[in-house]
Structure 1
Amino acid sequence: MPTGKRPQASAPGAPSATVPVRHAAAVKGKEHPAAGMERHLNQLVDVALDRRRLPHEDLEHLRQLAATASGRGTALRILVAEYLTSVHRVWTDLSGAGRALEPEDLREVGSALIRAIGEATVALTEGYETAHRAAVRGEEAMRREFVDDLLDGRTDLGRLAERAERFGLRLVGPHSVSVARAGKPFGAGDDTTRYVEEALTARFTTQDVLITTKDSLLVCVSPGAVPDVPDFFATSVRSAVDEPCRVAVSRPRPGPSGIVRSYQEARSTLDLAVQLGLTTPRVDASDLLVFQVLGRDRAAITDLVATVLGGLEEARGGPRALLETLDAYFASGCLNTTTARRLGVSVRTVAYRLDRIRQLTGHDPTDPDQRYILQTAALGARLLDWPSRPLQPSE
């Protein structure tokens, strides 16, 4: 009966005691996922027969092999499957090499082999996942750099278009930019951002949308040829957040430089909507052009407010109540009943205040021909935070 000692090398002409490794070679025309494991597989035989653990350098070698496989794009499941297949062949070769062992020794060899296989599989997984995480972080850093360059216009436009293709975005033709702001800042990779991105890419193609974050805003860049994107973006954002949020949409502009301008316009529109106290969840830049123009000329808008609404300062208690009535009246579609409900006053009070506005300003809010100038001046007052902030002639 053979002993449990490890067999020595065979005599010349006898079958070799070394188990041949014949499974990790390169596949013809394509590199095998398990290529480079020959040293480990031979080591595996020795470890099993000697009932010892795999050496640290062998495990580190496996981690490096797995990192290389990750860089080639080999799936982890394929790498592990090929490794286990190779191990099975090692066992087959080992059991057929004439090494007869006592049952107790066979159990110890099998236990050592299983332990070594487990350690090797863990090492492969660690090496693969570490390399994959590093690649993901590198990709995210490149994407963030691209987004910053795209929205800030800090790089050569031709080069920017080439980099955009890497991320599936075509910068040909006009693009619009939508931005969303909520109470909680949006962050890259957070649940809300991923939800919106998945919703948009499921509805449209990755070439039609770029979802990113910048300065706590959620940003969507989309081609003007796909006009449904901003609406769907706004709907997706409202579905993803549990608090009030606002979306601003720019006008489409051509080329990479147009995206920079569109992003700036969308942001300024978002800020302007807050200044104006608009309650609509989506605001289009095209709807606020007149206020953007007025906002650039503080002197003009100050003169408009002072000329049209200055007379309200003569009202008992100041202009605030009458100005709030104007805002509510225009927001309600110029309906006295709805205005009264908004303000929590009687319809008679609303009628009295509207008449008082006509007396003090010389403009009748109930007259369609005079209504527009009052509404423009009232919104201008919001831009200047009047009457909380006194009008300054220098503005």
Structure 2
Amino acid sequence: MEQDGPSLLAARIAARCATQVNRLTRQIVAEQEAVVPGLATLPDAIKELEIASTTRHGLRLFLRMARGEAVTDADMRLFRERAAQRVGDGVPLAYLLSGYMVAHRALWRALCAATRPGEDAGLHRLGELILTALERTTTAASEAYLKEVMLAERGKSLRAVARTLLSGRPAGDVAARHGVVLEPGYYVLAFALGDPSPGPGGRRRARAIQATLDRLADEPVLSSLDTDGGHALLPLRIAVPASRLSRRLVDAAAPVHTGMAVAGDIAEIPGAARQATRIAEVARAGGRPSGVYGLRDVLLDYHLGAPGDSGTELAGLLDILEPALVGTLDAYFAADFDRRSTARALGVHPNTVDNRLARVSTLIGADPRTSRGVMLIGAALTARRLNTAAVADP
């Protein structure tokens, strides 16, 4: 589109600011921290990555507008996404909008400083564009923020119903009060997060899991998710292959180990939740990769990790061994009983591996080079890992 005189001047002034985007971004973020309440207390990762990247995006978007380029709905997506995230971070809408005002004032000052004598008409045009940009940005952010608030309120209702179902208490009245129609049966999912983190990071992982489940089910899914993990109830009528569910959850919130059990009716939900929780914990403690696991996927480990005298005795079988011998056994089993591969993994000579295995046989009375020894020591290693994980994360 052909530009008029003021528009050409505006583009010329804006072009002088193109090389200042990074400097302006740092300046704006610093001003926002000083002016906007609560912003300085956000984690550095949010300030340095998200807020700064959004600011750079906004500056570059404005420079495009100044060149006469059209702004599309897709260009506003980042503002919507960041606004929704600020809800979970506990930032009030007024503070969010105040941050945008700070940014646009800083941009206006930079444009004024870049204007030369005789270019007033171009600066006036840029003033109009700044108001247009501010309107679009704040509108997109406000709409996304308020939508996220409504979703969060709905989420509270869903969590209330989910917690009632998981506790085994009658849920009919609670569900009716919150407008939730109960399903005949559910897949019960339990989530064990590899590195549970409090604050915004943990809340975001929980929201990412929830959003993934909602998209797969094409409807809000009942859940009790928090920063440590939790449970979700996926209706049995929704046929989602475990491989697809696993892939989506790992993409959204890795590392995450998910246990899955089936509750054929409402009364079975608490028992299925306990089983799913233990499946997730066993998968994580056993060093399995992130993903979704059913009972059959971890059946041996699940069985060996059962509480009781025999489980405790089995886990303690290897306590007499020094750490180097236990490490050799771990490497030996990981190498599928190949002594040379074990030696390479440990950085020792194969004869050293043989000597250590012989010493293990002498100390515990079970030879890891025999079928009986393999079964017993393999079970002991598994029980030991599960017992250690239980002590570390009661």
TM-score (norm 1): 0.50
Q: Which has the higher helix share?
A: 2
Point out the structure with max Rg over C-alpha: 1
TM-score (norm 2): 0.50
